[in-house]
Amino acid sequence: MFGKRLKMAAKKAKRKKDKLIESLIAVVGEDAIYYEHEDLLAYECDGYVIHKGLPRAVVFPSTTEEVSQIVKILHAQKIPFIPRGAGTGLSGGATPMGGEVIISLVRMKQLLEVDFENRRAVVQPGFVNLKLTNAIAEKGYYYVPDPSSQRTCTIGGNVGENAGGAHCLKYGVTTNHVLGLEVVLPDGEIVNIGGIPDMPGYDLLGLLTGSEGTLGIVTKITVKILKQPEAQETVCALFDRVEDASHTVSDIISAGIIPAALEMMDKIAIEGVEKGNYPVGYPKDLAAVLLIEVDGIKEGIPEQIEKIIQICQNRNVREVRVASSEAERQAWWNNRKQAFGAMGTISPDYLVQDGVIPRSKLPEVLEKVAQISSKYGLRIANVFHAGDGNLHPLILFDSRVPGDTEKAVAAGSEILKVCADVGGSITGEHGVGIEKKEEMRFIFNDEEIALQVSIRDVFNPENLCNPDKLFPTASRCAEVKAVKRASG
């Protein structure tokens, strides 16, 4: 015992002498850094738990200036680093490959400014998504992007992933709501981008949003805030056949209605959410549920609701109902928004996928997902933003069973191939991260990937900022690039 403790003390002392740690402490102070092994374990991965890696340290800067100083130190010593928000990402974007310094933005969590007249708010990156809407709700305003993780995820992380949410169908995703960014570039320089619409120059705001922390560290964000719609109504429709629910989705869009949200859950998903923390009493034998929300001018809503109900009935709905109160509406949404977590009640593990398809291909693709499910012998729950064709197949597996994890990963990849083949994408909101690097090849050829890598090089030439994420393993692309440059 005694000997072990001594050894630990010695290790601590040795650690303290690590020059890098010392220099980081000099910037942020003793209480804003982790470098002991046991402290680092919590940072081995984000919400994508299949891949793990140990960071060298985790630092918690409180100001942009501190972020810049940290980055300058790391840049000078060629030590890789990763910006991290709440770590709820689902593709491994904030997961170390091994040995990076994590720069956690959670202490930079202030709401800096709200300007109602210009309908914008300025936040620090660690500010939690839902807190913004809560802070401005009193005056009838809200921040649109509402990922299901909005109680914990940060707006910095939302910018990193270009996060979406249930209410992004009508109003757009994060990129449509970011007006300006302060960014610490991978060499430590602080730059301010945007702020006013159409700022002259290439659209760096658009490029940085969704770049998964590979182009720099966002330290301040100016976002649009919107006035709450005057009225909203939510319809819940229960179906006996998935095809009927899928066709209802396309019929609604084709009828010229753009709902604020249009969400779907299938049988297995319903089984999960009903066992979760917010059950609403969906019948056990249902095949699918649609949540359809319409918002806008009060007088315009009833006829849209009538039309939607009519469409559901034409598609053999079992039961269709308008929320009778705000409480009922909230209950439906809480039930839906906890869907991922609720899978834990019906399966030891689950893998969230995130494909996108043209909405008209929904019936065809769901059929293929079912085939993949039986091929691998894994249950797949489907929860998705049906209105914008963004599927979240939840692949249920048991990591204790040898080979099950690999099967889940393979099934997920196969689903993404199906999405790519119908003209869709491999990710609608969760990002590529570590998880989908190889799947990038489903939708981009080598030249297209090489061009993206070359854009990364403009910002992050030494690949120090969140290295080796997003793009398939370099070799082939690098070769193509070299050949291209040589001949061109």
Partner 1 sequence: MKPTSMEQIKQGILQILGSRLPEGEVIHCAGNHDENLLGNSGRLVVYPRDENQIGAILRFANEHSLTVIPEGGGTKRGLGGTLEQADILLSMQKIKGVVEHSVGDLIMTVKAGTTLQEIQSVLAKNGQFLPLDPPFPERSTIGGIVASNASGPKRLRYGSCRDLVVGLRVVTADGTIIRTGAKVVKNVAGYDMTKLFVGSMGTLGIITELHLKLKPLPPRRSLMLLTSPGGTEEIWDFSRRIMDSGMEPLALEVLNPGMAERLAGVSRYLLAVGFEDVPKAVDAQEEWVRQNLGQLRKTDMLHDEEAEAWWNRFAAVGTAPFALKVGSLATDVIPVMEAAEQAANNLGLSIICHGGTGLGISRIYVEDHDMRKFQSFYQTMQTFMAEREGYVIIESAPYTVRRGVSVWGDKPSYLRLLEGIKQKFDPRRVLNPGRFVGGI
Ligand X SMILES: Cc1cc2nc3c(=O)[nH]c(=O)nc-3n(C[C@H](O)[C@H](O)[C@H](O)COP(=O)(O)OP(=O)(O)OC[C@H]3O[C@@H](n4cnc5c(N)ncnc54)[C@H](O)[C@@H]3O)c2cc1C
The residues in 135-174 that bind ligand X, with binding defined as CB under 6 A, are 147-149, 153-154, 156-158, 160-161, 163-165
Query: 291 near 336, Cβ under 8 Å?
Result: yes
- Is 85 among the residues that bind ligand X (CB under 6 A)? yes
Question: Which of 456/481 has CB closer to ligand X?
Answer: 456
State which of positions 296-325 bind partner 1 (CB under 8 A).
296-301, 303-304
Amino acid letter at 85? G
- Stretch touching ligand X by CB under 6 A, among 2-10, 89-97, 236-244, 404-412: 89-97
* Residue 84's binding partner out of ligand X, partner 1, none, with CB under 5 to 8 Å set by partner kind: ligand X
CA distance 263 to 267: 14
The stretch near partner 1 (CB under 8 A) out of 144-152, 192-200, 375-383, 392-400 is: 192-200
* Touching ligand X, residues 294-323 (CB under 6 A): none
Measured from the CB atom, is 329 or 430 closer to ligand X?
A: 430
Burial class (CB in 10 A: 0-12, 13-18, 19+), 144: buried
Stretch that binds ligand X, among 28-36, 132-140, 211-219, 281-289 (CB under 6 A): 211-219
Give the type of residue at 261. Answer: A
Q: Which of 61, 125, 194, 467 binds ligand X (CB under 6 A)?
A: 125
Q: CB under 8 A: which stretch of 29-37, 116-124, 266-274, 343-351 binds partner 1?
A: 116-124
Strands 190-194 and 390-397: unpaired
Element (H, E) at 234: strand 231-239
- Min CB(320)–ligand X separation in Å: 25
Residue pointed to by tokens 């709440």: 86
Separation of alpha carbons 272 and 269, rounded Å: 5
The residue (of 361 and 430) whose beta carbon lies closer to ligand X is: 430
Judged by beta carbon, residue 81 or residue 376, the one nearer ligand X is: 81
Spatial neighbors of 373 by CB under 8 A, at least 6 apart, are 379, 380, 411
Q: What angle do CA 46, 50, 54 make, to 5 degrees?
A: 60
Taking the C-alpha atoms of residue 130 and residue 155, their distance in angstroms, rounded to an integer, is 9
Q: Which of 389, 393, 412, 467 lies at the binding interface for partner 1 (CB under 8 A)? A: 389
The least distance separating ligand X from the CB of residue 203, rounded to whole angstroms, comes to: 17
Span 438-467, contacts to partner 1 by CB under 8 A: 440, 443-444, 447-449, 451-452, 454-459
Strand partners, 233: 294
CA distance 429 to 158: 9
Neighbour-count burial of 326, counting CB atoms closer than 10 A to its CB (0-12 exposed, 13-18 middle, 19+ buried): exposed
Gap between the Cα atoms of 290 and 386, Å rounded: 9
Distance CA 213, CA 466 (A): 6
User: Can you tell me which of 70, 71, 90, 245 binds ligand X, judged by CB under 6 A?
Assistant: 90
Count interface residues toward ligand X (CB under 6 A). 37
As measured in angstroms, the least distance from the Cβ of 395 to ligand X is: 15
Through-space distance between the first and last CA atoms of the chain, rounded to whole angstroms: 67
Task: Kindly give the pairing relationship between strand 231-239 and strand 288-296.
Answer: antiparallel
- 385 binds partner 1 per the rule CB under 8 A: yes
Chain residues 346-365 in contact with partner 1, contact rule CB under 8 A: 356-360
Taking CB under 8 A as the binding criterion, the range among 33-41, 51-59, 225-233, 314-322 that sits at the site for partner 1 is 225-233
Note the residues at the interface with ligand X (CB under 6 A): 46-47, 82-90, 93-94, 105, 125, 147-149, 153-154, 156-158, 160-161, 163-165, 212-213, 217-218, 340-341, 429-430, 466
